[in-house]
Structure formats: structure tokens, C-alpha cells
Amino acid sequence: MLSASTPLFGRDEALADIERLLTQERVRLLTMSGAGGTGKTRLAGAAAVRVAAEFPDGVSFVDLSAVEEATLVPASVAQAIGVQESGSEPLQAILSEVLGDRAILLVLDNFERVLGAVQFIADLLGRCPRLVMLVTSRQSRAAAPARRARAARPPATGAWSGRD
């Protein structure tokens, strides 16, 4: 998924804005929203490729399109980063421990399907100070509440907002 094999036409400004927010302004949670089919996933993937060097511990794509319950989001994240459940420790605790202080970008695609996972996302960001999330959703207020928000309109994508 994270590949720049085909160019994105007319998205240079949006890509530059996303790159600036994630790398220079250190926004830790960036939500891109818009109607289905407008290119959010491709734009997020291209942006992730573009900023990958800023995340020495990796970039992982979490496809939530087939996830039907918010309670399954931790398992989806774990699968994307190669973590397995073990023992009786809750998966959220395992993820917090594994991600800890690692500089990782997680791209959470189709978050509108699992809005009930907002608290999990907020908790994970709270416990992992170098974790950054780029979220795509058909709903503009899909991700956790934040102290800072920006809005802009990339071509044919709808609104996106940066949060940290």
C-alpha cells in the first residue's frame, strides 16, 4: 500500500501541507476527511512515503475497511506492526509497551467504520510520545479530541485537519 509507483496529479500542495504538519509542526494526529472515492487513501499513502525518513522506527498502514467493530482496532494495529497477543496482558498494554518511545507513523485508513475506537487512539497517543497517526475518514471529527486544529481543502479530497 505504501508506494509511490504512480504520480498524484494536482496534489503537490496538499502533500506539502501534510508533510509540513507531520514533520515541522510535529502534529501527532492528522485526520484527512472527505467523501468516499475522493482519494484520501492514495493521498495518505503518498504522504506516508514522503515523510517515511522522519520515522526511523517505521511507517505502518492499518486498513480498517473490513473491520466492523471498534474493539478490533487494537488487533488490526498489532497485526500491521507485527505484534502478537501473549499471555493475559491486554493488547492495548502490549501495544503501548511495544510502541513506547519509538518514532512510528501509523496510517489508519477508513476510520469512520470504527469511531468507537477514538478513546483507544487517544490513550495510545498519550502513552507513546513519539507515535504519530495519519487517519483517513469519511467523517471530519473521526479521531480523538485535540488541542490544536487546522483545516484546508486539498483538491477533490474534502477537509482535513491536523491535531496534536
- Contact of 160 with 19, CB cutoff 8 Å: no
Question: What's the predicted TM-score (pTM) here?
Answer: 0.82
Domains of the chain: 12-163 (3.40.50.300)
The pLDDT score that the predictor gives to residue 82 is 94
> Which residues of the chain register pLDDT less than 50?
145-164
Question: Facing residues of 32 across strands?
Answer: 136, 160
Residue written as cell 479530541?
145
Q: Would you state the pLDDT for residue 153? A: 43
For residue 136 the three cell numbers come to: 483517513
> Which residues, including other chains, have CB under 8 Å from residue 92's CB and lie 6 or more apart?
74, 120, 123, 124
Q: So what's the pLDDT on residue 5?
A: 57
Spell out a b/e string for 41-59, using b for 16 or more CB atoms within 10 Å of the CB, else e: bebbbbbbbbbeeebeeeb
3-state secondary structure of 49: helix
